[in-house]
Structure 1
């Protein structure tokens, strides 16, 4: 079993999820998201983070098929995936913690096609945290290839 060290814990719905800190570029306050017409329901639009245009994925829409309600606590997790950098819009980024390998349990439902990106559950006495692999998540979302093409065609040429 791979040793997972630090993860960013975030909330979506009433659940806690985690992504390895190695995938996280930054955690930002949500400023302005520019909507793009005719994109999948989970795609909020694009925003600028650290000088780069990135697509914004509404995590609530991916997991629960409903848009995230705007709130002061909402955060944008800027994540580097194999495909491209993305922003995951989440209800709240809570903390960065260590996940000891002995607290990590494999998921029986991980084989379920629609949630292959759930890679395990960190079980603590007071809480359960679902581990997410952002690369698997991105590759499983319908329409991501179109979004990648859109981002490539709209990327400003480097000076």
Structure 2
């Protein structure tokens, strides 16, 4: 059996250091978490160019250092009331199904370590009620709704915004 190459070892070590780490953010009084491995960067809100005929939760596109990235308002995706953007509003750039997408959130909180033992499956609600939630992380007396990044947009929606 051959020994793993240095590149493979380094990749596995990076994966291990990211395991159990979640970037937390808020919408109103609810806190959410995204696995840090999906996050590329966090930027402040900036000028968004609207694109016609996209779903209302896709606010448009931004130019991030020459790369065009669609941005999604997570409040609208979760059927919450819209809110004016302010200096706390952030865009979390994530990789969804190999496409960079900006997630507009009310505010970014912190990176937390949440052990697998502190994560429970979401409760069974009405049909489709939890499709974005992968688990519920318990942090002290608080709960963080842990998102399943790959379900924030389906393949048809990704095709629509990358055309």
Structure 2 length-normalised TM: 0.81
Number of equivalenced pairs = 146
CA distance in 2, matches of 1:34, 1:68: 18
1:109 aligns with 2:124: yes
Q: In the alignment, does 2:75 pair up with 1:60? A: yes
* CA distance in 1 between partners of 2:125 and 2:146 (Å): 11
Question: What's the counterpart of residue 3 of structure 2?
Answer: none
Name stretches of at least 5 consecutive residues in structure 2 with no aligned partner. Answer: 1-17
Give deviations 1:8-66, integer Å, cap 9, x for gaps: 00011320001011000000011111111222110111002243110000000011343
Alignment of 1:105-144 (within 5 A): 105-109=120-124, 112-139=127-154, 143-144=157-158
Paired position in structure 2 for 1:85: 100
Distance 1:107 1:27 in 2: 27
In structure 1, stretches of 5+ residues that fail to align are: 150-159
Aligned counterparts of 1:105 and 1:6: Cα–Cα separation in 2: 16
Question: Are residue 24 (structure 1) and residue 35 (structure 2) matched?
Answer: no
1:48-96 Cα deviation digits (max 9, x unpaired):
2243110000000011343232111000000011151100000001101
**Aligned with 1:12 (options 27, 32, 35):** 27
| Change over 3 Å in CA distance of 1:128–1:86 after alignment to 2 | same
More moved, 83-92 vs 43-52: 43-52
- Kept in 2: contact 1:19–1:131 (CA 8 A): yes
Cα distance in structure 1, aligned partners of 2:134 and 2:126: 9
How far apart, CA to CA, are the structure 2 residues paired with 1:84 and 1:30?
A: 20
Equivalent residue for 2:161, pick from 144, 147, 153: 147
Distance 1:19 1:11 in 2: 11
Largest Rg, 1 or 2: 2
